[in-house]
Amino acid sequence: MQLVVSIADQHLRLMDEKGGVLAIYAVSTALNGPSEIKDSGGTPRGHHIIRARIGAGQPLAAVFKGRRPTGEIWSPQLAAQFPQRDWILTRILWLSGCEVGVNRLGQCDTMQRYIYIHGTPDVEPMGIPLSHGCIRMRNVDVIELFDLVATGTRVLIVE
């Protein structure tokens, strides 16, 4: 199994080993466009793997901070209380780059940049680049994907 994220199409494709498409999900990548550089706010390109799966068993719209559930469930009221939060919800698939000098180690390390595939509030649009570098998904979609992939699953992010 492999994931292919298209920045141009704002879609994530779940592929089988023969290249067949098992599912397509709308996503939102970085508002700043593609970039591998630390502090760029861009979505890193290239070959990655899922290094960690975080949030199994958490409820829909569970809020994470520092990769830990806060015990909160996202709501418009909570969002109004904390308008500056970058909402990381439901599940986290933490990515690690596989290409030294491209998206691994030094100033371009995807994992050290905390780049995830994660849920986001349903009021946020999909199909439009708006994230801070991560790959945002609908909460129900990220639960479905989370249950289908394992640690070590390959992820290719293309422009």
- Summarised one tens digit per residue, pLDDT across range 1-12 is 999 999 999 999
Task: Please give the average per-residue pLDDT across 81-94, as a whole number.
Answer: 96
Rounded Cα distance between 148 and 159, Å, is 24
Rounded Cα distance between 113 and 68, Å, is 17
Mean of the per-residue pLDDT values for the chain? 97
Please state which CATH number belongs to domain 28-151. 2.40.440
Sheet strands (E) in the chain: 2-6, 11-15, 21-28, 46-54, 62-65, 68-73, 88-97, 116-119, 135-137, 154-158
Task: Please give the average per-residue pLDDT across 47-64, as a whole number.
Answer: 98
pLDDT digits (tens, 9 = 90+) for 33-46: 999 999 999 999 99
118 neighbors 90 (Cβ within 8 angstroms) = yes
Q: How confident is the model at residue 69 (pLDDT cuts 50, 70, 90)?
A: very high
Q: How confident is the model at residue 119 (pLDDT cuts 50, 70, 90)?
A: very high
54 neighbors 64 (Cβ within 8 angstroms) = yes
Distance of CA 125 to the CA centre of its chain: 15
Phi, psi of 78 (to 5 degrees): -65, -40
Give, in degrees to the nearest 5, the angle at Cα 113 between 92 and 3.
Answer: 50
pLDDT digits (tens, 9 = 90+) for 121-142: 999 999 999 999 999 999 999 9
- Out of 76-80, 82-86, 100-104, least confident range: 82-86
Q: How far from 78 is each of 3, 59, 61, 120, CA to CA, in Å?
A: 32, 16, 11, 14
